[in-house]
């Protein structure tokens, strides 16, 4: 296979707060190939959003990356200076967020916002920027681009706002789009349209997408490969079909069993007992052991390393499958 476009390697991020040190990301590793949609799934607080921000060098204060590498085209982004990152952000790696209505600046027209980004990255004049913006609006399926260009954000619907955000993100020719819960704030039909749009853009422009979500349905519909994050690291990863239909990790299994299903109508919903560990006080060994139905002695002491299960890249970090666990 080709060299990955982005690879996050053994990333650790911590936040020093008054309450103590929060270990938000603990050895997160995954990679994304050119033209691929990779889903990073997990519950709130599993470190998926902060990982997305870390790729752009934007871990919010008081957080800091303490170890690991983030390679983009083989170059470590963690070693870039501020000016280099201002070129990469929005230019080569773009990001969109959960709530499009809050992501657009209310006191500037949509056109002035997208033009500013285009002009920052492409060094073109006002007219060229406008032409590029209108083309971008058309590419994301917005009707009447000239009207959208003049409009203020509050004059657009949620779905249109998210399309505008995507157009802004891609207007400067980004190769990687980080989409942090891009559909969570939208209603279901609009959600489906936005996901279809992301799929189309991948096909038409070859853009790779890191899709951060808690929604396994979104993953099943959109992603080529998926990584399931728990307490700041990936517990299971691989092609979407393998992970969702031949899941190995007890956490992944628990997540999927917790989904409501028509065939289970009338029965109580399953849930994983216990709750997500706080980053302030992580259990030793495997972070999932206090909630795991198949916990063994080794799980309490040693953090499992990812074990490769097959030829298509399905990996799982669980002692049920590790060499140490088999002894």
Binding region for other proteins (CB under 8 A): 53, 56, 58, 82, 85-91, 94-97, 99, 102-108, 116-117, 120-121, 152, 154, 165, 168-169
Question: Minimal distance in Å, beta carbon 165 to other proteins?
Answer: 7
- At residue 165, what are phi and psi to the nearest 5 degrees? -60, -40
Could you tell me how many helices (H) and strands (E) the chain has, helices first? 13, 12
Q: Which is nearer to other proteins, 21 or 152 (CB)?
A: 152
Question: Minimal distance in Å, beta carbon 100 to other proteins?
Answer: 9
Q: Where are the alpha helices (DSSP H) in the chain?
A: 48-55, 82-88, 100-103, 110-122, 126-139, 145-150, 158-170, 188-205, 216-222, 240-245, 250-257, 297-301, 323-326
Question: Minimal distance in Å, beta carbon 85 to other proteins?
Answer: 8
For residue 47, give every residue at least 6 positions away whose Cβ sits within 8 Å of its Cβ, in sequence order, or none: 13, 24, 25, 26, 28, 229, 231, 232, 233, 279
Q: Which is nearer to other proteins, 167 or 216 (CB)?
A: 167
Q: Which is nearer to other proteins, 73 or 261 (CB)?
A: 73
d(CA 166, CA 175): 13
Q: Which is nearer to other proteins, 169 or 223 (CB)?
A: 169
From the number of C-beta atoms within 10 Å of its C-beta (0-12, 13-18, 19+), residue 241 rates as middle
Q: Which is nearer to other proteins, 142 or 318 (CB)?
A: 142
DSSP β-ladder status, 307-308 and 315-316:
antiparallel
Question: Minimal distance in Å, beta carbon 106 to other proteins?
Answer: 6
d(CA 243, CA 129): 43
d(CA 318, CA 294): 10
Residue 162 CA, chain-centre distance (Å), reads: 16
Question: Minimal distance in Å, beta carbon 56 to other proteins?
Answer: 6
Helix (H) / strand (E) element for 6: namely strand 6-17
d(CA 244, CA 253): 9
- Determine if the peptide bond prior to 103 is cis (ω within 30°): no
CA of 277: how far to CAs of 54, 145, 280, 290, in Å? Answer: 22, 47, 8, 9
Q: Which is nearer to other proteins, 83 or 323 (CB)?
A: 83
Question: Minimal distance in Å, beta carbon 146 to other proteins?
Answer: 18
Question: Minimal distance in Å, beta carbon 110 to other proteins?
Answer: 11
Q: Which is nearer to other proteins, 84 or 281 (CB)?
A: 84
Question: Minimal distance in Å, beta carbon 164 to other proteins?
Answer: 11
Question: Minimal distance in Å, beta carbon 49 to other proteins?
Answer: 11
Q: Which is nearer to other proteins, 70 or 244 (CB)?
A: 70
Q: Which is nearer to other proteins, 113 or 307 (CB)?
A: 113
């Amino acid at each position: 296979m080709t060299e990955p476009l982005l690879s996050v390697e053994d990333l650790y991020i911590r936040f020093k707060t008054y309450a103590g040190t929060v270990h938000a990301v603990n050895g997160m590793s995954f990679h994304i190939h050119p033209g691929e949609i990779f889903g990073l799934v997990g519950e709130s607080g599993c470190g998926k959003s902060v990982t997305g921000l870390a790729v752009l060098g934007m871990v919010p204060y008081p957080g800091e990356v303490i170890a690991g590498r983030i390679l983009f085209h083989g170059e470590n982004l963690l070693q870039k200076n501020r000016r280099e990152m201002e070129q990469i952000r929005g230019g080569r790696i773009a990001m969109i967020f959960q709530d499009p209505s809050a992501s657009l600046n209310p006191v500037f027209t949509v056109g002035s916002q997208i033009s500013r980004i285009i002009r920052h990255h492409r060094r073109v004049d006002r007219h060229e920027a406008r032409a590029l913006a209108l083309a971008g609006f058309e590419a994301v399926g917005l009707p009447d681009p000239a009207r959208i260009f003049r409009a203020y954000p509050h004059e657009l619907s949620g779905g249109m706002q998210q399309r505008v955000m995507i157009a802004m993100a891609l207007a400067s020719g980004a190769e990687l789009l980080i989409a942090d819960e891009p559909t969570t704030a939208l209603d279901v039909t609009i959600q489906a349209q936005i996901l279809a749009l992301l799929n189309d853009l991948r096909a038409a422009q070859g853009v790779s997408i890191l899709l951060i979500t808690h929604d396994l349905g979104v993953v099943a519909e959109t992603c080529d490969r998926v990584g399931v994050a728990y307490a700041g690291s990936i517990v299971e990863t691989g092609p979407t079909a393998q992970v969702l239909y031949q899941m190995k990790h007890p956490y992944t299994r628990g997540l999927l069993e917790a989904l409501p299903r028509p065939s289970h109508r009338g029965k109580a919903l399953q849930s994983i007992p216990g709750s997500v560990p706080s980053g302030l006080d992580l259990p030793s060994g495997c972070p999932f052991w206090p909630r795991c139905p198949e916990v063994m002695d080794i799980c309490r002491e040693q953090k499992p390393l990812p074990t490769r299960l097959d030829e298509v890249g399905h990996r799982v970090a669980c002692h049920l499958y590790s060499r140490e666990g088999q002894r």
